[in-house]
Structure 1
Amino acid sequence: MVKLGRTIKLRLCPDTAQADQFLAMSQEYQRLANIVSQWIFDHGFQLSWLKINHHLYKEFRQESELNSQMIQSVFRTVSARYKTVREQLKQHSYRYKNEESKWIQVPRDLNWLAKPIQFRQPQADLVRQSNYSFVDEMRKISITTLGKRTKLSFTDKGFEKYFTDDWKLGTAKLIHNQGKWFLHIGITKEISDFDTKNDPQIVGIDRGLRFLATVFDSEGKTLFFDGQKILHKRKKFIEIRRCLQSKGTKSAKKRLKQLAQRENRWMTDVNHRLAKTLVTAYGSHTLFVLEDLTHVTFNTDDLPKSLRNSHRSWSFFQLETFLTYKAQAIQSTVVKVSPAFTSQRCPKCGLVEKTNRHHDTHEYWCKQCQYRCNDDRLGAMNIEMLGQEWLNGVKHPKIEKLTTAG
Structure 2
Amino acid sequence: MKVVVQVKLLPEAEQAAALRSTLRTVNDLACWVSRVAFARGVPREYELRQHTYAHLKAEGLGAQAAQHVIKKVRDAYTTLHANLRAGNLGKPKSRRRIKAASKPIAFRSEAAQPYDDRCLSWQYDQQTVSIWTTAGRIKNVSFACSGDGLKTLRDYRKGEADLIERDGVFYLIATCDVPEAEAYEPDGFIGVDLGIVNIATTSTGYQAAGRGLGRYRKRQLALRAKLQKKRTKSAKRRLKERSRRETRHVKNTNHIIAKTIVTEAERTAHGIALEELRGIRRRVRLRKPQRVTFHSWAFAQLGDFIVYKARRAGVPLVYVDPAYTSQTCADCDHVDKKNRVDQATFICRNCGVVAHADRNASRNIAARGAAVWTAGRESRVPATP
The alpha-carbon distance between structure 1 residues 94 and 147, as it changes in their structure 2 partners (threshold 3 A), is closer
TM-score normalised by length of structure 2: 0.84
Indicate yes or no: 2:338 matched with 1:350: no
Deviation at 1:133, TM superposition (A): 0.8
1:314 is paired with a residue whose SS is coil
Matching residue within 356, 363, 366 for 1:381: 363
Indicate yes or no: 2:53 matched with 1:53: no
Q: What's 1:103 paired with?
A: none
Indicate yes or no: 2:259 matched with 1:276: yes
Indicate yes or no: 2:1 matched with 1:11: no
Which letter maps to 1:161?
Answer: K
Q: What's 1:391 paired with?
A: 373
Q: What's 1:72 paired with?
A: 67
1:190 is paired with a residue whose SS is coil
2:227 is paired with a residue whose SS is helix
The alpha-carbon distance between structure 1 residues 134 and 203, as it changes in their structure 2 partners (threshold 3 A), is same
Native 8 Å contact 1:356 1:367 kept in 2: yes
Matching residue within 241, 244, 248 for 1:261: 244
Indicate yes or no: 2:160 matched with 1:177: no
Q: What's 2:77 paired with?
A: 82
Deviation at 1:299, TM superposition (A): 9.1
Native 8 Å contact 1:125 1:171 kept in 2: yes
The alpha-carbon distance between structure 1 residues 57 and 95, as it changes in their structure 2 partners (threshold 3 A), is closer
State how 1:236-251 maps to structure 2 within 5 Å.
236-251=219-234
- In 1, Cα distance between the equivalents of 2:341 and 2:37? 54
Residue deviations 1:235-269, cap 9 Å, x none?
22222222333344443333222222221121111
- In 2, Cα distance between the equivalents of 1:160 and 1:131? 20
Unmatched segments (≥5 aa) in structure 2: 378-385
Residue deviations 1:188-240, cap 9 Å, x none?
12234435xx3354221111121111101xxxx32222221222222222222
Q: What's 1:142 paired with?
A: 130
State how 1:110-259 maps to structure 2 within 5 Å.
113-122=101-110, 123-128=112-117, 130-135=118-123, 137-158=125-146, 159-164=149-154, 166-195=155-184, 198-216=185-203, 221-259=204-242
Which letter maps to 2:74?
Answer: S
Indicate yes or no: 2:6 matched with 1:24: no
Which letter maps to 1:340?
Answer: A
Which letter maps to 1:273?
Answer: I
2:273 is paired with a residue whose SS is strand
Pairwise CA RMSD of aligned residues? 3.2
Deviation at 1:89, TM superposition (A): 4.9
- In 2, Cα distance between the equivalents of 1:186 and 1:110? 34
Native 8 Å contact 2:338 2:349 kept in 1: no
Q: Name the structure where strand makes up a greater proportion of residues.
A: 1
Deviation at 1:368, TM superposition (A): 2.6
Q: Name the structure where helix makes up a greater proportion of residues.
A: 2
- In 2, Cα distance between the equivalents of 1:140 and 1:334? 38
Unmatched segments (≥5 aa) in structure 1: 97-105, 396-406
State how 1:263-342 maps to structure 2 within 5 Å.
263-283=246-266, 286-296=270-280, 309-342=292-325
Native 8 Å contact 1:90 1:109 kept in 2: no
The alpha-carbon distance between structure 1 residues 246 and 194, as it changes in their structure 2 partners (threshold 3 A), is same
The alpha-carbon distance between structure 1 residues 377 and 45, as it changes in their structure 2 partners (threshold 3 A), is farther
The alpha-carbon distance between structure 1 residues 258 and 94, as it changes in their structure 2 partners (threshold 3 A), is closer
Matched-pair identity in %: 28
The alpha-carbon distance between structure 1 residues 369 and 334, as it changes in their structure 2 partners (threshold 3 A), is same
2:30 is paired with a residue whose SS is helix
The alpha-carbon distance between structure 1 residues 89 and 337, as it changes in their structure 2 partners (threshold 3 A), is farther
Native 8 Å contact 1:279 1:327 kept in 2: yes
